[in-house]
């Protein structure tokens, strides 16, 4: 099997709803207003319901319940809305085999996205783009689940706990891994070349162009997320487990000082996924 065959075997290419695509473009436009974004959100009942749920969650709820999209949008703010719309659009595009933990997959993806955004902010990079890369970094795994159902259960049963192990096993079994598949989906969705490259080169960031730091940021975020999972959160043990050339330019003390607040703030998003 090759990647073209994989995409050909899909009954339909996973797609982001038109309203969500328009919203994502609105968020990237310097002339957009919160009122205009709220009007578009109201056109998509799934996204609108999630916006209302988040606005009325324990983290954001005020003295009264938010009952309109306009009020909810005002309460959440532009950046939070952008995050929610992107997460909702991407998560809503996929289904998977029963042997695959879809909820756990999205929770992990969201954590990598949150860490990517934090690292990008600390490095002076585009934090929103880094978040998008994190949300989509392993999206190719879902394409393999839906496009190669005859192989998916066996791949899921294999004990390859980290990202490098999964990609290597998929490459061994299929001839390609989830980074290449995810980059091809990003290309077909016409996402920016920067994002395509970040997804494709997350396992080999040293090969990225000098003017695109996103592959390395993404690789660092994946490594940190795996350390958090292995050591039960942002612990001293997790921090000390991180070493080597990939993380030598990170101020791990600063990263881990900021992580608890970042992860706590994003819990409300994670509860809306899947």
- pLDDT value for 123: 94
Is 84 in the same domain as 112?
no
Is 238 in the same domain as 263?
yes
Last residue of a domain, one of 92, 124, 154: 92
**pTM to 2 decimals?**
0.80
Is 43 in the same domain as 149?
no
Number of domains in the chain: 2
- pLDDT value for 247: 94
Cβ neighbours of residue 70 closer than 8 Å, sequence gap 6 or more: 35, 38
Could you tell me the CATH number of the domain that includes residue 201? Answer: 1.10.3210.10
- pLDDT value for 172: 58
Last residue of a domain, one of 92, 117, 151: 92
Is 77 in the same domain as 103?
no
- Each residue's pLDDT expressed in tens, for the chain with a length of 274 residues: 667 777 776 656 677 777 777 887 788 778 888 888 999 889 888 888 888 988 888 777 777 888 899 999 999 888 888 888 888 877 777 776 677 778 888 888 889 999 999 999 999 998 888 988 998 898 888 877 776 666 666 666 665 566 666 666 666 566 677 888 889 888 888 888 999 999 999 989 999 999 999 999 999 999 999 999 899 999 999 999 999 999 999 999 999 999 998 888 777 666 766 5
Is 146 in the same domain as 236?
yes
Q: Where are the alpha helices (DSSP H) in the chain?
A: 3-9, 18-27, 34-41, 45-55, 69-76, 78-91, 102-123, 127-136, 139-147, 152-157, 163-174, 178-188, 193-200, 214-230, 236-240, 252-265, 267-270
- pLDDT value for 238: 95
Is 251 in the same domain as 169?
yes
Is 87 in the same domain as 101?
no
Please choose, from the candidates 54, 91, 86, 87, the residue with its C-alpha nearest in 3D space to the C-alpha of residue 69: 54
Is 63 in the same domain as 102?
no
- pLDDT value for 174: 67
Is 117 in the same domain as 240?
yes
For residue 249, what are the domain limits? Answer: 3-11+95-270
């Amino acid at each position: 099997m090759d990647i073209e065959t994989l995409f050909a075997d899909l009954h339909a290419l996973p797609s982001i709803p038109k309203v969500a695509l328009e919203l994502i473009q609105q968020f990237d436009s310097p002339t957009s207003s919160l009122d205009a974004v709220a009007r578009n959100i109201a056109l998509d009942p799934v996204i609108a319901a999630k916006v209302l749920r988040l606005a009325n969650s324990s983290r954001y709820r005020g003295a009264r319940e938010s009952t309109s999209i306009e009020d909810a949008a005002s309460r959440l703010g532009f950046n939070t809305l952008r995050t929610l719309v992107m997460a909702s659009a991407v998560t809503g595009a996929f289904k998977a085999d029963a042997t695959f933990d879809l909820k756990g997959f999205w929770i992990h993806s969201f954590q990598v996205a949150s860490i990517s955004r934090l690292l990008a902010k600390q490095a002076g990079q585009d934090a929103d783009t880094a978040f998008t890369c994190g949300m989509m970094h392993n999206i190719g795994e879902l394409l393999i689940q839906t496009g190669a159902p005859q192989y998916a259960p066996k791949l899921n049963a294999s004990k390859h706990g980290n990202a490098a192990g999964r990609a290597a096993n998929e490459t061994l079994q299929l001839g390609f891994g989830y980074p290449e598949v995810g980059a091809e989906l990003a290309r077909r969705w016409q996402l920016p070349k920067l994002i395509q490259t970040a997804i494709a080169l997350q396992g080999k960031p040293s090969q990225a162009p000098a003017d695109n730091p996103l592959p390395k940021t993404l690789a660092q975020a994946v490594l940190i997320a795996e350390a958090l999972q292995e050591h039960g959160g942002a612990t001293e043990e997790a921090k000390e487990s991180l070493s080597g050339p990939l993380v030598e330019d990170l101020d791990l003390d600063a990263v881990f000082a900021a992580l608890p607040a970042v992860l706590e703030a994003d819990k409300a998003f994670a509860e809306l996924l899947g």
